[in-house]
Each structure stands twice: as structure tokens, then as C-alpha cells.
């Protein structure tokens, strides 16, 4: 499994552009908001956590269609389906590799984009922490959509359509926890723990659903 993780990471970095395109898209989404809402720094500070989360969510959707597509194109997907290791575990490792290569850079870039939104240090830290905890769920959810669309020639848009509604709970509790960290009356821990629970839930359900979809696609 470690070999598979390293292989997918090498392929992601060798292909190039995935993480960079995601960061540039993330930057674009966040950068255009001030032009729409005006130069009110207080308003930007209030909506900053939500905008950063939405930008990260949309950027994370960009590369999901490539999660299994490269394996299908070079024929290695058939070998994965025939291997002795449980397919669910293989999908879990591939999700982890995708998160490390494509989504973790968005988390690392979020503090810089938080500064663009005039967010406080506490808000920036809260957003980064919630993204770090909640963003793996995006990869697990996306694996299901990518597995369903793996046999389609142009499944990128379909993956986004399938995945986006399922990511709404992650967005809601990620933003809620971020706001709770900077608003004294609102407790931070309850929405944060729910976000952790959502990630753990999809860490189980996502690879399982993706494995079933890949089995059906292979048949």
C-alpha cells in the first residue's frame, strides 16, 4: 500500500499542473470577491472564512475526475481490480495520495488568501484547521463520483455535479466552526467535532462506494 501511495504521488507530481491549477483557481475565486462586495474591510473580514472555504471546495473539485482516469487509460485499473489486496483499501490509499498531492496545497495556501480577505489571525488559524480536518472528506466523496464516471469519456463535469451536493455538510460545519472560533458566544468544539465525524464517516463510506462502482465498471 505504501508503494501504491508513493506511485500515485509520483504520477501526480510528474503530470504536473494539478496542484498549481487548483491553487490558481483558489486564488482567483478569493481575489474576485472584493471586486464584487466593495472595499468594505469589515465586510470582507466577516465573510472571509466562508469565501475561503467555498474557494477551497471548488478548487478541490477540479482534479477529481483524474483520480482513476489515468489508471483506466494505461490499463492498471484492471490490475488493481484483480489484485489480492482489498479494493476498498486500495481506493483509500489513492484518496490519500490525491489529498496529499492536490488538496493539501490548498490548505497550505489558505492563510495567504485569508490575508487577502482581511481576516484576523484567529480566523485564519481556524479556517486552516477546519480545512485540514474537513478537506479529506472531499477526496473521499470525490472518489465515488470519479469511480462512477471512470468509464465516461468526459466525466469531469459529471463528477462535479455528483459530488457537489454531498459536500454541503462539510462546507456548513467547516464554516460554522471557523466562525465559532472568532465569535465568543458561539462554541467552537461542537461544529468542529461534527466536521471530524463527517470526515471519518466518508472515510469509510467513500472508499466502499467507490470500490463498488469500480467493480461494476470493470464488469
pLDDT (tens digit, 9 = 90+) per residue, 122-147?
999 999 999 999 999 999 999 998 88
Task: Please count the other Cβ atoms lying within 10 Å of the Cβ belonging to residue 214.
Answer: 25
Q: Which residues contact 82 (CB under 8 A, 6 or more apart)?
A: none
82 pLDDT tier (thresholds 50, 70, 90): confident
Q: Report which of residues 204 and 35 the model is more confident about.
A: 204
Domain interval for residue 61: 1-218
For the cut 80, the answer to whether the pLDDT of residue 11 exceeds it is no
pLDDT at 191: 93
What 126-129 contacts at long range (C-beta under 8 Å, 24+ apart), as own/partner pairs, is 126/49, 126/177, 126/178, 126/180, 126/181, 126/182, 126/188, 127/48, 127/49, 127/52, 127/53, 127/178, 129/192
- For residue 156, what pLDDT is reported? 64
Q: State how far the Cα of 153 lies from the Cα of 49, in Å rounded to an integer.
A: 36
pLDDT at 59 over 80: yes
Contact 43, 160 (CB under 8 A): no
What DSSP character marks residue 65? G
Residues belonging to the chain:
219
List pLDDT tens digits, range 144-198.
988 888 777 666 677 888 889 999 999 999 999 999 988 866 688 999 999 999 9
Question: What confidence score (pLDDT) does residue 146 get?
Answer: 86
Q: Is the pLDDT of residue 205 over 90?
A: yes
Give the model's pLDDT for residue 90. 87
Res. 13 pLDDT band, cuts 50 70 90: low
**Inter-CA distances, 143 with 12, 39, 154, 193, 216, Å:** 16, 39, 16, 23, 15
pTM score of the predicted model = 0.88
pLDDT at 77 over 90: no
Q: Is pLDDT of 22 > 70?
A: yes
Quick one: what percent of the chain has pLDDT higher than 70?
89
Q: Cell for 28?
A: 482567483
How far is the C-alpha of 131 from the C-alpha of 175, rounded, in Å? 9
- From the CB of residue 81, how many other CB atoms can be counted at a distance below 10 Å? 16
Whole-number average pLDDT of the chain? 85
Max Cα–Cα distance, the chain, nearest Å: 58
Helix axes 18-37, 104-116, angle to 10 degrees: 20
Per-residue confidence band for 110, with pLDDT thresholds at 50, 70 and 90 = very high
The number of folded domains in the chain is: 1
Amino acid at each position: 500500500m505504501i508503494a501504491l501511495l508513493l506511485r500515485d504521488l509520483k504520477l501526480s507530481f510528474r503530470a504536473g499542473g494539478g496542484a498549481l491549477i487548483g491553487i490558481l483557481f483558489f486564488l482567483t475565486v478569493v481575489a474576485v470577491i472584493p471586486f464584487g462586495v466593495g472595499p468594505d474591510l469589515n465586510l470582507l473580514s466577516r465573510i472571509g472564512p466562508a469565501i475561503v472555504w467555498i474557494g477551497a471546495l471548488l478548487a478541490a473539485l477540479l482534479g477529481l475526475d483524474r483520480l482513476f482516469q489515468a489508471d483506466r487509460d494505461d490499463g492498471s485499473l484492471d490490475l488493481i481490480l484483480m489484485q489480492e489486496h482489498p479494493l476498498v483499501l486500495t481506493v483509500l490509499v489513492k484518496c490519500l495520495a490525491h489529498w496529499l498531492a492536490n488538496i493539501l496545497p490548498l490548505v497550505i495556501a489558505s492563510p495567504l488568501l485569508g490575508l487577502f480577505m482581511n481576516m484576523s489571525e484567529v480566523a485564519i488559524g481556524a479556517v486552516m484547521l477546519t480545512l485540514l480536518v474537513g478537506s479529506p472528506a472531499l477526496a473521499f466523496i470525490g472518489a465515488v463520483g470519479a469511480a462512477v464516471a471512470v468509464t465516461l469519456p468526459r466525466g469531469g463535469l459529471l463528477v462535479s455535479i455528483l459530488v457537489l451536493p454531498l459536500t454541503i455538510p462539510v462546507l456548513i460545519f467547516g464554516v460554522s466552526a471557523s466562525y465559532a472560533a472568532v465569535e465568543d458566544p458561539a462554541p467552537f468544539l461542537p461544529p468542529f467535532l461534527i466536521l471530524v465525524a463527517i470526515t471519518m464517516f466518508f472515510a469509510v463510506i467513500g472508499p466502499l462506494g467507490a470500490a463498488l462502482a469500480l467493480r461494476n465498471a470493470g464488469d
